Amino acid sequence: MQYPDWVWHNGAIKPWAEATTHVMAHALNYGSSVFEGIRSYETARGPVIFRLGDHTRRLFASARIYEMEIPYTVDEINAACREVLRRNRLTRGYLRPLAYRGLGGFGLSADTPIDVAVAAWQMGAYLGEGVLEQGIDACVSSWQRFAPNTIPSGAKAGGNYLSGQLIAREARRLGFGEGIALASTGLLSEGAGENLFLVFDGALHTAPVSAALLNGITRNTLMTLARDAGIDVVERDLPREYLYLCDEVFMCGTAAEITPIRSVDGRQVGAGKAGPVTRRLQELFFGLFDGRTPDKYGWLDPVDA
């Protein structure tokens, strides 16, 4: 990975190599961090950050769940995101705001200082080159998601990604592009780091947030774009076998964007390539950046605001 030059850390821009933390930081020992993943895109109006305000709000919501008081305002974090993109001259940037319990107290309930960083780097398709067109082969993981009364899936916290690592690593080890997890109920939840949509008879189906999943901003974006385009959207319990019966499946997320799934557990989905609803949503989504889809919800935030 090619590291960029600059990182925002605790209120100042620093060279990448100097944005460090102590080995005894609480977060490193106990997973006590919350973060976001945000993308920037080039548009005819200049570079934009996609749904910056919604991501920053979710960062603060995640922190609130864990009683972490971020010592900056939403506006300060938004400004840091813009500055990191500008300084590093990123065109297709992936921003990583991160708030974590630092050094200064031991024990699980310690009120350590909250350190905050915003890093960014250049990032293409997350699940590999060409996957947005070709799709990936996915499998249902042998690992389930955490039950709702254990670790809240509504927080985007570092510790949650122990679950994601088990799911993603198992999938890669077995030769799949990504793993899909069931919730502790046995019903479909989401991908290791992506939300999941199934298509039946032209309608989008996705599991509700109670199925141990992250309430994704891309998920919300696609549900909104689909409804506006007259595509029915249904949030419902989904049993595993629907993966084998539906016409199309895709994953979505900030990093994964809209990644078609061509097979699940070795069984071909639909025609084994991106189906018409998946392609329509890709057009609508990427159309936001090339101007084919009007930005009627004000989702595009100019980097040079």
Residues marked active site are found at: 156
Interaction between residue 62 and ligand PMP (CB under 6 A): no
Q: Is 136 helix (H, G, I), strand (E, B) or coil?
A: strand
Give, as ranges, the residues between 79 and 98 that touch ligand PMP (CB under 6 A). Answer: none
Q: How far apart are CA 5 and CA 282, in angstroms?
A: 32
Question: What is the nearest approach in angstroms of ligand PMP to the Cβ of residue 271?
Answer: 26
Distances (CA, A) of 6 to 115, 120, 135, 234, 302: 17, 8, 34, 43, 20
Other CB atoms within a 10 A radius of the CB of residue 281 amount to: 26
Nearer to ligand PMP, 49 or 217 (CB): 217
Q: Are 195 and 219 in contact (CB under 8 A)?
A: yes
Site string for ligand PMP, 36-55 (x = CB under 6 A): -x------------------
Looking at beta carbons, which residue is closest to ligand PMP? 216
Amino acid, res. 121: W
Rule CB under 6 A: choose which of 25, 95, 120, 217 binds ligand PMP: 217
Nearer to ligand PMP, 198 or 214 (CB): 214
Interaction between residue 152 and ligand PMP (CB under 6 A): no
Q: How far apart are CA 92 and CA 132, in angstroms?
A: 15
Question: What is the nearest approach in angstroms of ligand PMP to the Cβ of residue 214?
Answer: 4
Question: What is the nearest approach in angstroms of ligand PMP to the Cβ of residue 29?
Answer: 22
Q: Are 143 and 183 in contact (CB under 8 A)?
A: no
Nearer to ligand PMP, 112 or 223 (CB): 223
Site string for ligand PMP, 274-303 (x = CB under 6 A): ------------------------------
| Structure tokens that stand for 6 in this block | 């600059």
Nearest of 154, 234, 147, 213 to residue 185 by alpha carbon: 147
Give, as ranges, the residues between 182 and 201 that touch ligand PMP (CB under 6 A). Answer: 190, 193-195
Question: What is the nearest approach in angstroms of ligand PMP to the Cβ of residue 110?
Answer: 26
Select from 101-109, 167-175, 217-225, 236-244 the region that touches ligand PMP (CB under 6 A). 217-225
Task: Tell me the CB-side half-sphere exposure of residue 163, using CA atoms within 13 A.
Answer: 28
- 157 DSSP β-pair partners: 34
Q: How many residues does the chain have?
A: 305
Question: What is the nearest approach in angstroms of ligand PMP to the Cβ of residue 236?
Answer: 18
Total interface residues for ligand PMP by CB under 6 A: 14
Q: CA 187, 191, 197: angle at the middle one, nearest 5?
A: 70
Query: Based on the number of CB atoms within 10 Å of its own CB, is 42 exposed (0-12), middle (13-18) or buried (19 or more)?
Result: middle
Rule CB under 6 A: choose which of 116, 136, 211, 214 binds ligand PMP: 214
Nearest of 39, 125, 143 to residue 85 by alpha carbon: 39
Across the chain, which distance is largest between two alpha carbons, in Å?
56
Interaction between residue 218 and ligand PMP (CB under 6 A): yes
Select from 23-31, 86-94, 101-109, 210-218 the region that touches ligand PMP (CB under 6 A). 210-218
Interaction between residue 31 and ligand PMP (CB under 6 A): no
Interaction between residue 216 and ligand PMP (CB under 6 A): yes
Residues that bind ligand PMP (CB under 6 A): 37, 164, 190, 193-195, 213-214, 216-219, 253-254
